[in-house]
């Protein structure tokens, strides 16, 4: 029998209705709901202690909460957390704050102060990828104002929860500047636009410039520019009026924390060289926040130390900063935890593993932050023939 047109229409309608019914009845994962729990306070004796969390790519809310609980239990009262623009504004003018809200809600409930780092450019704010492939760190000059608008919207939305915002990350590295030659004057234009938007949204917010990476790259290098020259150039381009505090990254590499700083050497006290520039520029009143720091204990990486040294150096660094750097507001350890192991030396920067097991460095830092003195080494003396 050849179906009539009327019959075919009815059949199609029936199929459509059945499809909708199946789609509605199909089992789907329930939205994860993790209770915030009771309001907590951080018990610490060392307010300098801070950790850099990496929750922007953490999908499971339980893991976000667990990470922040462990931060509180560590005795760190402050976190640095990245809030990617590309995630928050996937289409121009259309904000999606779902993930940021979730992180901030849990962090606040754990009693943590949040220093927000902003960056990562959405596709719509970059050149057409088919014509000009660029990385997510490529911010065209025409899009500076778009980024600033995001910074302002962020400051406005979280004005009761976040009072410190870092503009970009390591703009003195070409990798972080979209694989282009770094440009201190361009960065200052971005800083100025962002500063104005943030202050308009929340005059009390602290705008942080930087965060400058430790590197020895000379002028003209394709990889970047050392942070000493970069900061000098920033001041020359008029940066002073557009930031309230300087964010810097300083790693110990193989040196102990008390090792003397020098322009041609990367070590913990390199921060002092940047401080000297601030003083020379008449900016001594502004504080500094070290938003990334630490030692690595990978057994093969050339810039790593042994795990025993990592624990000792980290605590010595906090003690050194506490005693000598009155201009320092926070010293933040990179990093609390990665969402997944990278299977190489970066994994040995973390305090806890991706599976949440605490490393000995976590316990050492906890002892320090919470004032739990530990007087004996947790290892045996070198073996000797009896």
Partner 1 sequence: MAATAAQELTLGKARFLAIPLAVALAAILAVVLIPPERTPTISSAFPAGEIIVGVDASFPPFALDDGETIAGLDIDLAHALAAELNLPVRIRNIGFYALHDALLSGQVDILVSALRIDPARMDDLRYAGSYFDNGLVLVTAAEDPVSDIKSLANSRIAYEYASSAEGQVRAWEEEGQSIARRPYELPEYALDALQLGLADAAIVDATTLRLYLGARHDWTARYEYITHEPYAIAVRIDRVDAWKLVDGAVSALQENGELARILDKWL
**Any idea what the Cα angle at residue 349 is, between residues 345 and 353, rounded to 5°?**
95
Q: How far is the CB of 152 from partner 1 (least distance, A)?
A: 30
310 counts as binding partner 1 under rule CB under 8 A: yes
- By beta-carbon proximity to partner 1, the closer residue of 18 and 303 is 303
* 6/385 with CB nearer partner 1: 385
Decide whether 22 or 380 has the Cβ nearer to partner 1: 380
Shortest Cβ 324–partner 1 spacing (Å):
28
Rule CB under 8 A: say whether 301 interacts with partner 1. Answer: yes
Residue 264 CA to residue 269 CA, distance in Å, equals: 12
Stretch 118-137 residues interacting with partner 1 (CB under 8 A)? 133, 135
Output b/e per residue, 321-349; b: 16+ Cβ within 10 A: beeebebbbbbbbbbbbbeeeeeebeebb
Q: How far is the CB of 381 from partner 1 (least distance, A)?
A: 8
Whose Cβ is closer to partner 1: residue 220's or residue 299's? 299
Smallest separation, CB 1 to partner 1 (Å):
21
Query: Would you give the binding string for partner 1 spanning residues 156-195, x where CB under 8 A is met?
Result: -------------------x--------------------
Least distance between partner 1 and beta carbon 225 (Å): 16
Q: Which is nearer to partner 1, 28 or 384 (CB)?
A: 384
In this structure, how many other beta carbons lie within 10 angstroms of the beta carbon of residue 160? 9
Three-class secondary structure of residue 50 per DSSP: strand
List 222, 306, 324, 374, residue binding partner 1 (CB under 8 A): 306
Sort residue 178 into left (φ over 0), alpha (ψ -120 to 50) or beta. Answer: left
Using DSSP, state whether 83 is helix, strand or coil: strand
Nearest distance from residue 80's CB to partner 1, in Å? 18
**Under the criterion CB under 8 A, does residue 308 sit at the interface with partner 1?**
yes
Residue 256 is a binding residue for partner 1 (CB under 8 A): no
**146 or 297: CB nearest partner 1:** 297
User: Of 17, 41, 279, 303, which one interacts with partner 1 (CB under 8 A)?
Assistant: 303
SS3 readout for 234-255: HHHCCHHHHCCEEEEEEECCCC
73 in Cβ contact with 51 (< 8 Å) = no
Among 228, 202, 192, which Cα is nearest to 213's? Answer: 228
Nearer to partner 1, 60 or 92 (CB): 60
Adjacent-strand bridge partners of 358: 352
SS3 53: coil
Residue 382, interface with partner 1 (CB under 8 A)?
Answer: yes
Query: Using CB under 8 A as the criterion, what x/- string covers residues 324-363 for binding partner 1?
Result: ----------------x-xxxxx----------x-xxx--
- Which of 287, 360 has the CB closer to partner 1? 360
Q: In this chain, which of 311, 314, 330, 350 binds partner 1, going by CB under 8 A? A: 311
Using DSSP's 3-state secondary structure scheme, residue 162 falls into: coil
CB 115, CB 330: distance < 8 Å: yes
CB neighbour list of residue 159: distance below 8 Å, 6 or more residues apart: 201, 202, 204, 205
Instruction: Work out the burial of residue 133: count CB atoms within 10 Å of its CB; fewer than 13 is exposed, 13-18 middle, 19 or more buried.
Output: exposed
**Total residues interacting with partner 1, rule: CB under 8 A:** 32
Q: Minimum CB separation from partner 1 for residue 180, in Å?
A: 14
**Entry field: residues in the chain:** 386
306 contacts: CB under 8 Å, gap ≥ 6:
297
β-strands 49-52, 328-334: how paired? parallel
Task: Report the 10 Å Cβ neighbour count for 183.
Answer: 19
In the complex with partner 1, the residue whose CB is nearer, 194 or 296, is 296
Nearer to partner 1, 92 or 377 (CB): 377
Residue ranges binding partner 1 (CB under 8 A): 133, 135, 175, 297, 299-303, 306-308, 310-311, 340, 342-346, 357, 359-361, 377-380, 382-385
């Amino acid at each position: 029998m050849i179906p009539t047109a009327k019959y075919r229409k009815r059949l199609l309608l029936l199929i459509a209705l059945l499809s909708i019914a199946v789609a509605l009845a199909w089992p789907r994962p329930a939205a994860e709901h993790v209770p915030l729990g009771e309001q907590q306070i951080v018990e610490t004796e060392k307010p300098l202690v801070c950790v850099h969390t990496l929750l922007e790519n953490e999908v499971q809310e339980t893991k976000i909460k667990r990470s922040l609980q462990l931060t509180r239990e560590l005795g760190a009262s402050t976190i640095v957390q990245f809030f990617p623009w590309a995630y928050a504004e996937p289409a121009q003018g259309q904000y999606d704050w779902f993930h940021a809200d979730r992180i901030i809600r849990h962090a606040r409930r754990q009693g943590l102060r949040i220093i927000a780092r902003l960056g990562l450019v959405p596709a719509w704010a970059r050149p057409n990828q088919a014509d000009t492939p660029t990385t997510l760190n490529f911010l065209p000059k025409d899009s500076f104002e778009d980024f600033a608008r995001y910074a302002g919207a962020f400051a406005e939305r979280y004005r009761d929860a976040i009072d410190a915002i870092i503009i970009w990350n390591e703009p003195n590295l070409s990798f972080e500047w979209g694989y282009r030659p770094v440009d201190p004057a361009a960065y200052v234009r971005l800083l100025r636009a962002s500063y104005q938007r943030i202050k308009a949204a929340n005059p009390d917010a602290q705008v942080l410039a930087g965060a400058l990476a430790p590197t020895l790259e000379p002028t003209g290098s394709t990889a970047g520019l050392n942070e000493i020259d970069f900061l000098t150039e920033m001041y020359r381009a008029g940066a002073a009026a557009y930031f309230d505090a300087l964010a810097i990254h300083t790693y110990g590499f193989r040196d102990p924390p008390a090792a003397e700083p020098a322009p041609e050497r990367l070590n913990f006290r390199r921060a002092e060289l940047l401080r000297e520039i601030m003083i020379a520029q008449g900016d001594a009143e502004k504080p500094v926040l070290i938003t990334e720091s630490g030692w690595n204990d990978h057994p093969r990486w050339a810039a790593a130390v042994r795990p025993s040294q990592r624990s000792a150096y980290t605590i010595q660094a906090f003690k050194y900063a506490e005693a000598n750097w009155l201009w320092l507001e926070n010293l933040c350890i990179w990093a609390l935890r990665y969402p997944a192991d990278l299977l190489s030396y970066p994994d040995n920067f973390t305090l806890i593993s991706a599976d949440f097991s605490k490393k000995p460095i976590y316990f050492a830092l906890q002892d320090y932050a919470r004032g739990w003195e530990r007087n004996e080494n947790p290892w045996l003396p070198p073996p000797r023939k009896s």
